[in-house]
Amino acid sequence: MDLPDPRRGPCRPLFLVVAASLLACGPRQASGPLFISPDSLTAVERHRNVLALENVPEGVQEYSWYRGAEDSAETMIISFRPPDSKVPGPLYSNLVTVTSKGYLSFRKCTLNDTGNYTVRVDTGNGTQRATGWLEVLELGPPPVISANASSTVENLDSVAAECHTNASHIEWYRNSVPISASQRIAISADGRTLVIRRVSRHDRTLQCVIQRYESFPDILQKSDTVSLTVAYGPEYVSLSTNLKGFDGALTAGIGSQVQLECSCDSDPSPKYHWLHNGSLLSSDANLNFFLDPASPTLACSSASSWLLHLGPLGGVPHLVTSLGCGHLCGILVYGLVKLYLHRRNRAT
């Protein structure tokens, strides 16, 4: 198969475009003296930094980097002959290296790296030098978070958290996701205080994050995570039984076995109290009893009242059943007392 000749025929304009863009992407023709890119002369401690070069001449045979304002042999850090020959100098440390473009790369800057750096660039045809002052900024301590309550009740309590830092740019994270002020969430003007009103069980963790330097938006420092324990429930309270046809009222024959099971969603897990005429019968979720014709005291008194208390908040009459028995049947009635009524009373 014959490939079209790029210099002729319909492919020619395309070829020119490709060639032109390759040239545009390739090394730029030096149009002035070599210098170290000013943007690269500010770094943050414990972070990477690359001293980049501008106006690099063509045909470089060797890049040499020096500590200080001169290119003397004693202060050489490292030299690099493209494509891959690197020679460490007296001031070399394994925290630095040279990139394939001849740039000096610090894996992790320290404050001591602040100072002058000189690069010498040798072409076959001459030598150019450039010096720049690298300023390494202090990172400072990470923020410290505190909260005034770690154990709260859903929809009732508020939590205030404080971010201790001297940085001015503070963000708050809830469940590892950034949050802003909303109906329930207030953030103070200086960003240091967060208040969540009427906490929810979904408010699981809080964290504050600071950006120390505006010019380094990617350098973030995170506080520890504060975990909130939000008590909720009981809710979705349901009563199940072995007897058929349970619909708020229950019919059971004398001589039969009655099994009642209470379930609900609650954190911490609920306490159950089955009361019969005010005396505690059981503290299990389940209550099993036999409607004994020979000892009718429990089941067959005419207006027995059954009361089930449950809930983490203690003593909430939540599920009330009453059993009224003739000789042949028992009737159970249950109703729910909404927990929040109780909480409202508690709150006022």
Ligand X SMILES: *[C@@H]1O[C@H](CO)[C@@H](O)[C@H](O)[C@H]1NC(C)=O
> Does residue 284 bind ligand X (CB under 6 A)?
no
Contact segment (CB under 6 A) with ligand X among 136-144, 220-228, 238-246, 334-342 equals 136-144
> Does residue 200 bind ligand X (CB under 6 A)?
no
Three-state DSSP state, 39: helix
> Does residue 301 bind ligand X (CB under 6 A)?
yes
Cis omega before residue 83 (within 30°)?
A: yes
Site residues (CB under 6 A) for ligand X, limited to 69-98: 69
> Does residue 277 bind ligand X (CB under 6 A)?
yes
Smaller CB separation from ligand X, 9 or 59: 59
What does the alpha-carbon distance between residue 230 and residue 232 come to, in Å, rounded to a whole number?
6
> Does residue 112 bind ligand X (CB under 6 A)?
yes
Q: What are 227's strand-pairing partners?
A: 205
Smaller CB separation from ligand X, 98 or 199: 199
| CA R_g for the chain | 38
> Does residue 141 bind ligand X (CB under 6 A)?
yes
| Cα 264–Cα 265–Cα 268 angle in degrees, nearest 5 | 115
Neighbours of 83 (CB within 10 A): 6
Contact segment (CB under 6 A) with ligand X among 98-106, 135-143, 233-241, 253-261 equals 135-143
What does the alpha-carbon distance between residue 113 and residue 44 come to, in Å, rounded to a whole number?
10
> Does residue 125 bind ligand X (CB under 6 A)?
yes
What does the alpha-carbon distance between residue 200 and residue 344 come to, in Å, rounded to a whole number?
16
What does the alpha-carbon distance between residue 276 and residue 253 come to, in Å, rounded to a whole number?
19
What does the alpha-carbon distance between residue 256 and residue 258 come to, in Å, rounded to a whole number?
6
Give the x-and-dash track for 219-258 against ligand X (CB under 6 A): ----------------------------------------
Q: Which residues bind ligand X (CB under 6 A)?
A: 59, 69, 110, 112, 116, 124-125, 131, 133, 138, 140-141, 148-149, 158-160, 166, 195, 277, 297, 301-304
